[in-house]
Amino acid sequence: MFALIDGNNFYCSCERVFQPRLQGKPLICLSNNDGCAIARSEEAKALGVKMGHPWFQVKHLEKSAGLVALSANFALYGDMSSRMMSLASELGDSQEIYSIDECFLGLYRTPDVTQRARNTRAKILQWIGIPTCVGIGQTKTQAKLANYIAKQADRKPGSYPPRLAQVCNLVELTERQRMYLFGATDIGEVWGIGRRISQQLKEANIKTVQDFVQLAPATVRKRFSVVLERTWRELHGQSCIDLEEIPAPKKEIAHTRTFGQPVRELQPLIEAITEFTSRAAEKLRKQQSLASEILVFIHTSKHRPGPQYARSITVPLVRPASDTNSLLSAAFRGLRTIYTPGYDLIKAGVILMNLSSTHVQQTELDFGSSMSDRGRLRKRKIKHAKPLLTQMFDCSWHFHHGNCNCPTLAKCRTPLQIESQNTSRANQPSAVLTATARTHAFPPVEYGPPAAC
């Protein structure tokens, strides 16, 4: 049995924790450089604001409807997510963090699941201030669908039975009750059925989840695909998708940014590439991988007048590495190769490619007899310097993020109201909210001891 805990309008809910005056007001969070809406409150959705809606198209709603727009504060959202996931893990025996605002839980030996889910939801709301919904099912697909039903029953009274609001357990329902819910749910709301597949199913007169589950599995495989048959089996309670407690390592790691203002000089680009490479290297070390190549790119905006320019270069490393110094050296060589003055550059980034595990490395032949004493000494210094450089860069980014001076737009960003163990200089056991953030006490959440520097 599985459960899915999902934060409701997560980014907006995080902002409301620190600004209670925003409760009940239409609120959206904007993407980098305040480009478009990436999170919407229920009140903003009622005004017709769509996901990805460009800000300039809905800006008039500020005066006419009281719409509030805030620049995204990803550091805040990440910290709040860690707190929520820590509390959510108490519900099940194992946990898979699926995204920043939702996680799957394996319920293998959990008694009285529905009541425990309600208690966990209430605890997250009381301790952190984030409203959530919980869906429970025999499979991950059922849990995802149950979560959707719990949200709709809470937001739109009358769409589903009110007792399923906030926490929906499909396992404790009868077959007849489940079929009633399936008949009231559009086929496009099923996890794994996208817009294109949904359109194909509707053209075949399969409009609801009930229509889909009443098909024969052989028919689903023959007319559509084996993947869709797996979804069919999941909806029937046959678990085909396992819980991934340890996420698979990424095959590429990218860090890019669109600048708020055009960049023409080399020095701001170097600062930006330094930040991008350092953060990408931190992610690389976190998943215990090495990079063999690094791609650096810069380009202008096709939507702006003036000459256009777009260049990229892939720089191979002499040997796979994860230390920031080696990656920065390669990134700088690539940037200086592709940079041409006189263009209004709007975006830059780096991509670490051809990744391999740190546990599987090709060793080198050490021709000690033919190597000079100076060469052996230099090689030994580099070998012992890399761990020190790695620790130095990690400490630098943990204690002082944001050294980059590349221009970005975030006119409406709220201040970071959290002092976490990564930014605190004291050896504190947990992260705490500032005194001005909440009116009631926040019980400490343990994340373990800080990493040694």
Residue 291 belongs to what domain range? 253-360+373-393
- The answer to whether residue 194 sits within a structural domain is no
Q: Name the residue with higher pLDDT: 370 or 337.
A: 337
Task: State the average pLDDT for the chain.
Answer: 84
Confidence of residue 358 (pLDDT cuts 50, 70, 90): confident
**7 within a domain of the structure (yes/no):** no
The total domain count for the chain is 1
Q: Could you report the per-residue pLDDT of 281-335, keeping only the tens digit for each?
A: 999 998 999 999 999 999 999 888 889 999 999 999 988 999 999 999 999 999 9
Q: Is residue 295 assigned to a domain? A: yes
Tell me if 174 is assigned to some domain.
no
Domain harbouring 261, CATH code = 3.30.1490.100
Beta bridge partners of 132: 7
Contact yes or no for 87/105 (Cβ under 8 A): no
What's the pTM value of the predicted model, to 2 decimals?
A: 0.75
| Residue 232 burial class via C-beta count within 10 angstroms: exposed 0-12, middle 13-18, buried 19 and up | buried
Which single residue is written with the structure tokens 């690389």? 284
Residue 425 lies in a domain: no
CB atoms inside a 10 Å sphere around CB 362: 7
- The token duo for 170 is 């499909």
Q: Across-strand partners of 97? A: 103
Angle made by CA atoms 236, 239, 240, in degrees to the nearest 5 = 110
Residue 204: inside a domain, yes or no?
no
Condensed to tens digits (0 to 9), the pLDDT of residues 245-295 reads 777 888 999 999 988 889 999 999 999 999 999 999 999 998 999 999 999
Cα distance between residue 155 and residue 9, in whole Å: 12
d(CA 248, CA 82): 19
Amino acid, single-letter form, for residue 247: P
326 falls within a domain: yes
Question: How many CB atoms within 10 Å of residue 274?
Answer: 19
Residue 217: the pLDDT is: 92
The answer to the question of residue 349 being in a domain is yes
Q: Are 119 and 91 in contact (CB under 8 A)?
A: no
